[in-house]
Structure 1
Amino acid sequence: MADATLQITHTMDPARAQALAVTLEIPAPTQALPPFFHQIYFWEALPNPRLGRDGHPALGESLMPDMGLPRRMWAGGRLQFHRDIQTGIPAEKTSVIESCAHKQGRTGPLAFVTARHEVRQNGQLCVTEWQDIVYREDPSPDQPAPPPPMASEGEVLLERSFSSTDVFRYSALTFNGHRIHYDLDYCRDVEGYSGLVVHGPLLAQVLMLLAKEALGELSEFSFRATAPLICPEVVQFMTDSQGNFWVRGPDGRQCMSASAKA
């Protein structure tokens, strides 16, 4: 049974934020963290016996429940930004499970879990985040994957690829041990991907920085992963200049959709 509440306190080391900035190829932040940079803090380091086959905490360990399905992935999320998180000052992250549900999808049973995270610093609420996790069965070799949605046209804000080094660095900075980001045999043989998978939160991080550049300081941001991006595919980060943002893969598929408010 998962714990009802998880609390982690962390000193917001500026060197870690600088390392993420290098990975993202952006200027290093000074004192206030850019939006979503809190993802590289608040590590929950569990010993190997408490990890699952995918390298994440085993199903039912810590906060996330066992929903009876072996695969899990970050499907999307929503954030509210209340005030900046400052580097060099301790902050506390409190996490709870807000909802759990089973559903029947096109390719079989699914389960959805929503976790709510609140980050506070000096007793003040800085960020509220809802994280949506989807659980599913292992892929069947004789069942083709459903076709991904196709991205619409828009303004291209950034075009880049993510190398295996980029993916490794982001995994290290977020203490993310999921094997789809570094174990090619596991990607292909167990989870059915054609190669190493670029983190959905990494794509969301880039979109948030672009949204802040386009709109100013953000008050809200939501995103939904719609298709995996495989490194080193070239990807385009796009917008319609109306608060909508998305990620388009090299074949035109939509890898992520998002919306932002200043």
Structure 2
Amino acid sequence: MTDTGIDAQQGETRQTDMMDPARAQALLATLGRPAPVHMGDALPPFFHQIYFWQSLPPASLGRDGHPAKGDGLIPDLSLPRRMWAGGRLEFHAPLHAGIAAEKRTRVANVTRKEGRSGPLGFVTLQHDIMQDGHLTTREYQDLVYRNDPEPDAPTPTPPQARQDETLSETAAFDSTMLFRYSALTFNGHRIHYDEAYARDVEGYDGLVTHGPLLAQLLMLLADRQLGGLGRFSFRASSPLMHHETAELCWRKDGTLWIRAADGRQIMSAMAERAIP
């Protein structure tokens, strides 16, 4: 169960959630790593993404399935396309399944700039996740808003990914996985499940693999390699389609990236070990 409220004086939303163990177990299954999750178990880093749903009726949604812009904390920048560009996270303590937690969200920054493809809006949200009165996770979420692509606009050339990883893991995606992740995060963005919309309106070559899903996989990889994750930052470089495979890459210095089969860079990241 999730309860949501807006503190108008503080410019902050607050949501509570009981952190249902079954939901975390469902995400592990979706990721192809099925494992039981019991009351009180520590949750993997970034699993708070599947909690604190913003449950709105259809009339409160925009054309893309997201909450309508200008409704709530995020101002309407008059730019229709929304993308999760990256973020930074601090993990102070693990969240535990089955114990009530609170998420406090505020707008940390809003800017508008002119890019090569037209106006861009940048919004940074700060999320503080509290449990038993203590801060467990602080997340800065970077969102980008832009206009629809022109039909004859050239496709931007994505950067090429590094080839000097210490180790890599292959990850595959399909429409079922994207649908299940959308359901678990209560993410209504149509680019992840409505292929006609993704192609015809937003100009993609297929369904778009969620940026947070890709970041989640990199965080789990870093957590295994470091023996505990203290800080993590990531930046999206290029969209990955649902029909593509990718390599999750790691170096011993804590750098990570995702490389598509054609060599382009999808995401870059940096991880730091938790301080004992």
TM-score, normalisation: structure 2:
0.92
| Aligned counterparts of 2:237 and 2:74: Cα–Cα separation in 1 | 22
Q: How does 1:2-41 map to 2 (within 5 A)?
A: 4-28=11-35, 29-30=37-38, 31-41=41-51
Is the contact made by 2:167 and 2:251 (CA closer than 8 Å) also made in structure 1? no
Is the Cα contact below 8 Å between 2:90 and 2:231 reproduced in 1?
Answer: yes
2:106 paired residue number: 96
Question: 1:226 Cα deviation (Å)?
Answer: 0.5
Correspondent of 2:154 among 136, 144, 152:
144
AA in 2 matched with 1:118: D
| SS at structure 1 position matched to 2:229 | coil
Deviation at 1:26, TM superposition (A): 1.8
Query: Which residue does 2:229 correspond to in 1?
Result: 218
Q: What SS does the aligned partner of 1:73 have?
A: strand
User: C-alpha distance in 2, partners of 1:156/1:136?
Assistant: 36
Instruction: Determine whether 1:83 maps to 2:93.
Output: yes
AA of the residue aligned to 1:235: A
Q: Distance in 1 between matches of 2:205 and 2:196?
A: 10
Aligned-pair CA distance for 1:160: 2.0
Show CA shifts across 1:85-140 (max 9, x none).
00010000000000000111121110100000000001010000000000001001
The AA in structure 2 aligned to 1:165 is: T
Q: Tell me what 2:261 maps to.
A: 250
**Is 1:175–2:186 an aligned residue pair?**
yes
**CA–CA distance in structure 2, aligned partners of residues 169 and 63 of structure 1:** 27
Q: State the TM-score, normalizing by the size of structure 1.
A: 0.97
Amino acid in the other structure paired with 1:21: L
Q: CA deviation at 1:240?
A: 2.0
Amino acid at match of 1:49: A
Aligned residue pairs total 261
Work out the CA distance in 2 between the residues paired with 1:236 and 1:67: 35
**1:216 aligned partner, one-letter code:** G
**Structure 2 unaligned regions, length at least 5:** 1-6
Contact 1:157 / 1:210 at 8 angstroms: preserved in 2? no
Please state how far the C-alpha of 1:14 moved relative to its aligned partner. Answer: 0.3
* Residue 69 of structure 1: aligned partner: 79
Counterpart residue number, 2:207: 196
**Counterpart of 1:47?**
57
Give the Cα separation in 1 of the matches to 2:168 and 2:225.
Answer: 9
Residue 219 of structure 1 aligns to a residue in which SS?
strand
Specify every segment of 5 or more residues in structure 1 that has no aligned partner in the other structure, as ranges: none
Instruction: Give the alignment's Cα RMSD to 1 decimal.
Output: 1.2
CA distance in structure 2 between the partners assigned to 1:215 and 1:27 by the alignment:
22
Could you tell me whether the CA contact under 8 Å between 1:97 and 1:115 is conserved in 2? yes
